[in-house]
Amino acid sequence: MGKKILLGTIGVLILATLTFAQEIYQWMDEKGTVHFTDDLSLVPERYRSQVQEKKPPKEPSPHPSPQVLKEEEIEKEPESTPERKDLIGRGEEWWRTKAKEWNEKLMNAQKYYETAYTAWKAKEKELEQSKLKPRNFQRKLKSEIKVLEGKAKELEKQRDEAKNMLQKGLPKEAEELKADPDWIKIE
């Protein structure tokens, strides 16, 4: 009795394998109805020229094929909007990063300029008050003033360059390259 069940199971498995290996034929009649069959002789003679052979999937699909579903039943994936870019392919992130870098340069230059300018003016005041002190002390103060003045002027140039870039340079470049002007606005 066990051998009969085993042979029956093997027979069913072989039959199932043969069934999955068959080709499927598809055609459409004059009413627009799509027909399927696994026997080419069942296709009416007048539709045989338009028959499409379909190979069944290697494994049965857990979902019905899209050909069987009605159009409204098919879930459409939401279309993702492509990232906007300028004429040379740079996107919003690049422009925001560039504006942020220039803004940081402006803030740092301004902060260091104010520190250097304050120190410069304090040394000048100290020099004015040192009229009765030795000349070598006054020369040392004058040397320090000259260094602080140079630093302040260099930082002032950096500050003005960063300010000019944020107010004129980046907006002009963005306009020329068709970048969104909002991309360079500092938040």
State the amino acid at position 44 in one-letter form.
P
- Token pair 């919003």 is found at 92
Q: How many domains does the chain have?
A: 2
Query: Is 64 domain-assigned?
Result: no
Query: Is 28 domain-assigned?
Result: yes
Residues 156, 101 share a domain: yes
Chain segment 62-109, per-residue pLDDT in tens: 554 555 555 555 555 556 677 888 888 889 999 999 999 999 999 999
Residues 38, 122 share a domain: no
Quote the CA–CA distance of 50 and 26 in Å, as a whole number.
8
Residues 129, 178 share a domain: yes
What SS3 string covers 158-177?
HHHHHHHHHHHHHHHHHHHC
Q: Between 58 and 42, where is the model more confident?
A: 42
Query: Is 103 domain-assigned?
Result: yes
Query: Is 82 domain-assigned?
Result: no
Average pLDDT, the chain: 81
Mean pLDDT within 114-120: 94
Residues 97, 51 share a domain: no
Residues 99, 50 share a domain: no
Chain segment 2-50, per-residue pLDDT in tens: 666 755 666 655 655 555 556 787 868 888 787 778 777 888 888 778 7
Closest residue by Cα to residue 180 from 87, 81, 80: 87
Percent of the chain, pLDDT > 90? 42
Query: Is 81 domain-assigned?
Result: no
CB 151 within 8 A of CB 105: no
Residue ending a domain, choose from 37, 56, 75:
56
Residue ending a domain, choose from 9, 38, 56:
56
The range of the structural domain enclosing residue 147 comes to: 92-184
Tell me if residue 132 falls in helix, strand or coil.
coil
CB atoms within 10 A of CB 53: 9
Chain segment 60-69, per-residue pLDDT in tens: 555 545 555 5
